[in-house]
Structure 1
Amino acid sequence: MAHSDTAPHRPRLPAGWRRLALRLPIMLFRAGLGRLFGKRLVLLHHMGRVSGLDHMTVLEAVSYDPTGASWIVASGFGVKADWYQNLRARPKTLIQFGNRYHAVTARFLPPDEGAEIMADYARRRPRTARRLCAFMGFPVDGGEASFREAGRAIPFVRLDAAEGQHRHGRERA
């Protein structure tokens, strides 16, 4: 089942100084300072579906599985976000996590799985989850049911490390 834009409203894309502030983590990753973000952020490389140009977006790792080398990210701007549409067109890509690169394949998760992910995220980071939902226009009363409902509407993507990679992203010989 595909996600649709069912949120009460989608946040407007940032402009001006807000856009610059959101681009700052990209500059830090590129400067080799990705480890400053711990296990919280990933730098996603994605190829433009029309232009064919390489683009970069920093996303929060909603969850990280070090044993399976997979990361779950969410599209706060819905299915119309450029990075999301670009991954739909070309799901094989590259991420930077800390200072290591990983070849990954994007897997688009169904709404019911998104509900579970959001409920778990809200248990681990309740304040951040409330702020995220408010930013996206979801009514959240702090109860698990409201986070699950938001999670059904938020598109989640699991980025699975490519076969043949060690846990730390080095390719096997």
Structure 2
Amino acid sequence: MPLGQITPDRPQPPVGWRRSAARLPILLFRCGLGWVFGGRLLLLHHSGRVTGLHRRVVLEVVEYDPADGSWVVASGFGPRAAWYRNLRANPKTVIQVGNRHHAVTAHFLTSDDGAELMARYACRHPRTARHLCAFMGLPSDGSAAGFREVGRTIPFVRLDAGPGACPP
């Protein structure tokens, strides 16, 4: 399956009360309670590519590298997710991890990088990885090779903090 191809089994973003429930972590971050998520979730600030309006989304951290100050996140809804398309248009932004803000620049990873990331993630969080695959409608037999194949279909983004990154 090509990168980002949406199949009928692939879930769509939540609507109605499920959308409100999914957006609850944003409120917690805004109230200064981002620390409750540890480093597992981050709040991504992004600008609408058409409207220019300020947007926020909470994403799970797939991998964090403290040596170079980078976080990797994945777009479970594929390349059609609004935050993903917004970052494509404007890769310099700000994230919040815990109660700290970081200026970052988004770098879009290759499908081979995604394969290795997903395999490492599955080793660290096997149950969560299986549930995510089932939720996204992506087949995986639970093996490292199966998770690599799934990782090739998910768009991954590395958010690099550093001297080249600046807030929007």
- In which range does the TM-score fall when normalised by the shorter chain? over 0.9
Verify: 1:105 aligned to 2:108, yes or no.
no
Take 1:164 and 1:155, find their aligned partners in 2: how far apart are those partners?
Answer: 23
Instruction: Give 1:66 deviation, angstroms.
Output: 1.3
**Is 1:134 the counterpart of 2:134 in the alignment?**
yes
Q: In the alignment, which residue of structure 2 is the partner of 1:19?
A: 19
Q: Give distance in 2, aligned partners of 1:10 and 1:87.
A: 22
Deviation at 1:9, TM superposition (A): 3.7
1:28-84 per-residue CA deviation (whole Å, 9 max, x = no partner) reads 000000110001000000000000000000000001111211000000000000000
Q: Establish whether residue 66 from structure 1 lines up as the match of residue 59 from structure 2.
A: no
Say how many residue pairs are matched.
Answer: 165
Quote the residue 1:52 is aligned against. 52
- TM-score, length basis structure 1: 0.91
Per-residue deviation, 1:162: 2.7
Kindly report which structure 2 residues correspond to 1:1-173, keeping only aligned pairs within 5 A, or say none.
3-5=3-5, 9-163=9-163
Where 2:152 maps in the other structure, the secondary structure is: helix
Instruction: List runs of 5+ in structure 1 lacking aligned partners.
Output: 166-170
SS at match of 1:117: helix
CA RMSD of aligned residues (A): 1.7
Cα displacement (A) at 1:5: 1.7
Contact 2:10 2:138 in 1 (8 A): no
TM-score (norm 2): 0.93
Unpaired stretches in structure 2, ≥5 consecutive residues: none
Shift of 1:119: 0.2
- The residue identity in structure 2 corresponding to 1:152 is R
Distance in 2 of aligned mates of 1:150 and 1:92: 28
| Cα shift at 1:7 | 5.9
Partners of 1:103 and 1:87 in 2: CA distance:
13
Contact 2:94 2:103 in 1 (8 A): yes
Amino acid at match of 1:17: W
Q: What secondary structure, in the 3-state scheme, does the structure 1 residue paired with 2:23 have?
A: helix
The residue aligned with 1:168 is: none
Between the aligned residues of both structures, percent identity stands at 65
Matches of 1:164 and 1:113, distance apart in 2: 22
Report the AA paired with residue 102 of structure 1: H
The 3-state SS of whatever aligns with 1:93 is strand
